[in-house]
A and B are shown apart, each in its own frame.
Chain A
């Protein structure tokens, strides 16, 4: 009587388990396009929920990625040109030209493209999106100045755009920002033309125009989406609702799961570029040249915090790319920056992804021990074997850095040799010259003890901290590691309450060397800026100020070389590495673009091939039948045994 039941049961378990589909993505909105061709969906992943969808408030990298499909920007980075990085027109007709006034002030004349519309939304009269006009840009400037918006991009622009500072002051004093008072640096010429007036030369303004922070939003939308109840329905806050003008609109957002977008019919602000194709992809890219955008219909951004599931989903073909993290880098990327053969065989591609950045260990220049002793700092810098570090933690993929500016950027000097690069013998010599032969104080004979602040929030950081400690202790000194959360480390760095601070670094806001050298400018001491080292040298400041206002050219490079030499001499920081981010792309979702400015978004240029995806996915997800059968059998056998045993013995 038991046996048939047992067999049925184990078959049932097997059927149940094998019948399960392991696709984590919800079904797309449509199966086919109106013209009958297959509906194209792109699947992306972000590691955390969006903090905000407000272009003037959002600033984290994931937030930019969540907003980018919906909000176009005034200017864009060319998706193909990476050397050098180049700006191109976005919502503006062309990249604005600088006009210098007789009194040294500078202004930019900007012309918006005609016939760009906000997406249809109930916040507009009749639900029809209205045209984007010049006053929308003015409104954006006002929002940046409004203290309630908490825009992090206000501070760098405050002193540059005329009238911005005054607008903020007035708002703070009155307790409420007055949107009726205009910002004096904005001059409206006609409905689509405006001029922005600056206090002096500031070529970086153009880069700000390529960021979301200056992306036009509709005042109607900001006022409509207030988070209050109207007519019995709660309207979301503007921070969590996007009314954009870009190629996609957001349709669903489920926290901790996914954000889903659908293409906007009739989007025509830009088309696929026709120039600048990199030679290795040129042949393939030609087919897209001049095509209307976007190239696909639906976008899913899955929120996957954990790294292993991300890797698993990528391998199963449920994500269109796999981001390489510490451990999966070993599986995906070889030391010479190629895709590993195993993944090449799958037809995947490898792309460099991630903003140009650099990491360094900061010295506290005001500390009585390390701050006053440049030989000691140089010795510590020479003791840092970053090659081995990168080999261990990044599989040799991230390049070791020898200067402040990362290699993708203008101002990087490929011929530069860091005098404080790894050389343990030299380090020991320098340490002796610094007054600590063998790591002991020459006068007292006591071992030198230094404190290293380490942000440790996961096991990975813990391992790094341990490595860095070992690296310095090779000199015979003792390193006390002070583990903390990121926030606490930042707090200590800001208070100047440290000797060595690890985990400091910078990812660029815009591709200009000024964005990096400002980290050592003496007017950028915390808390206003990020000069955690508290490096202050008048010559450096003068060079920086001159360099910041210059256009690219040999004169600028000369100043940069001078500043590099000063940084080498004073050694306020130990250059670690420029973190390289890699993404392995699926065969059906080869990347069309080639720019390191990826965080600023190129979704509309992407393409996918759903037919090939279908085929490969089925191939990659075969399920063997025997393990569930065996499991079922085992369970049944166990039960049967128990029943029999108790019958016999009781």
Chain B
């Protein structure tokens, strides 16, 4: 029943909209502080950073229109499906813009031409490449939704309260971090079963350690500053100090790590696909496309478009995320770059 609720298209739509709204709201709220305003002024002058931001937004947009479901005859379809509805599946492989199947013995004409050819099941590779944006968006978004609050809050607590809180949190993350990451990922995925949700949980569980450590260090540094001591002298509650004073001063670090972390999540998906615990059947994903391409390069004639398209799309997203992360870092902290 639980999964039926989450699998319902309406729930998913609401979640997508809510997710975007939340991020937007958080950024707006965060940006009221003058550190963020200064950063934004600087960011506006960084042309590379802005281009990267635009590219990332484009990916998010494509992912969002694929994630957004609308009811249609006999079920639901995504908004993206509406645009590509005229592209029919073929029987099997066909080369980019070819008018026949790759199999030389077949003389069937294709239903339509495919910009990047078709894959083994005859699906249009270009459409698959676009649809995989949704997978990246969902995995990246859900994982971030799990690990960012977890890592940031625990880091703040550890850095602020110190003593046994710090000890306990340190114990947990050292233990987690000392298990080889890939094994932990695979094990969690095997326990939870395949699916984008469990993949996000697995990546979230392994991913928060780095952020937590970073925030803990920064919080410790900040706690020694005057303003925290002043707030404490005024008798403000711990909670208030953390929310009002400490959080705004570490949030930019959270933002930067979240952006860079997103790119790591996308890359991790590719490795998980190789290990056979990637995206489930029926979900387009770059990792799966690349893994399929691994053996397709042994075909004759060579099938390069599948792996090529997926690598290109993945590269574009990871590259822009990295550039964006760098740009944000230098915008927030111009001294260090």
Interface residues of chain A, those whose CB is within 8 Å of chain B, are 307-308, 311-312, 325-328, 330-331, 334-335, 340, 342, 388, 391-393, 395, 454, 456-460, 462-463, 465-467, 469-470, 481, 483-485
Contacts and interface: CB of A to CB of B under 8 A. Distances in A.
Interface string B183-220: 00000001001100000000000000000000000000
B73 interface: no
Which has the most chain A C-beta neighbours within 10 Å: B276, B280, B282, B298?
B298
Contact of B120 (A340, A456, A457, A463): A463
Interface residues of B, number: 25
Given A335-B105, A458-B276, A467 B295 contact: no
Interface stretch (B22-30, B159-167, B172-180, B286-294): B286-294
Contacts of A392: 91-92, 120-121
A485 B298 contact: no
Nearest to B102: A330
Contacts of A454: 281
A308 B299 contact: no
23 contacts: A308-B297, A312-B298, A327-B298, A327-B299, A328-B298, A335-B105, A391-B91, A391-B103, A392-B120, A395-B103, A458-B291, A459-B291, A459-B292, A459-B295, A460-B292, A462-B281, A466-B282, A469-B282, A470-B121, A481-B281, A481-B282, A483-B194, A483-B280
Nearest to B297: A308
Given A334-B105, A342-B300, A391 B92 contact: yes
A583 to B, nearest CB: 16
Contacts of B278: 459
Contacts of B190: 485
B92 A456 contact: no
B143 interface: no
Nearest to A343: B300
Contacts of B291: 458-459
Contacts of A469: 281-282
B298 A311 contact: yes
Contact of A308 (B276, B288, B294): B294
B281 A308 contact: no
B81 to A, nearest CB: 16
A467 B121 CA distance: 7
Nearest to B123: A466
Nearest to A312: B298
A463 B91 CA distance: 13
B299 A331 contact: yes
Nearest to A452: B281
Given A335-B105, A388-B91, A466 B292 contact: no
Contact of A463 (B105, B121, B276, B294): B121
B69 interface: no
B99 interface: no
Given A459-B291, A465-B281, A481-B282, A307 B298 contact: yes
B296 interface: yes
Contact of B296 (A327, A465, A481, A484): A327
Given A459-B292, A466-B282, A469-B282, 20 more contacts: A308-B298, A311-B298, A325-B295, A327-B296, A328-B298, A328-B299, A330-B103, A330-B299, A391-B92, A457-B276, A458-B291, A459-B291, A460-B295, A462-B288, A466-B281, A481-B282, A483-B193, A483-B280, A483-B281, A485-B190
Q: Lowest 7 A-B CB distances belong to which pairs? A: A331-B300, A459-B291, A459-B292, A327-B295, A457-B276, A465-B281, A327-B298
Contacts of B105: 334-335
A126 B298 CA distance: 53
Contacts of B294: 308, 459
B300 A330 contact: yes
A485 to B, nearest CB: 7
A342 to B, nearest CB: 7
Contacts of B91: 388, 391-392
B276 A456 contact: yes
Among B120, B280, B292, B297, max chain A CB count under 10 A is at B120
A628 B282 CA distance: 43
B154 to A, nearest CB: 33
Given A457-B276, A469-B281, A331 B298 contact: yes
Contacts of B299: 327-328, 330-331
Nearest to A478: B75
Contacts of B292: 459-460, 463
B94 interface: no
B263 interface: no
Contacts of B276: 456-458, 485
A329 B292 CA distance: 15
Contacts of B322: none
A581 B119 CA distance: 24
Contacts of A335: 105
A481 B194 CA distance: 11
Contacts of A463: 120-121, 292
Nearest to A336: B105
Contacts of B273: 459
Most buried by B among A308, A326, A458, A467: A458
A326 B92 CA distance: 14
A320 to B, nearest CB: 19
Interface in B99-127: 103, 105, 120-121
A465 B288 CA distance: 14
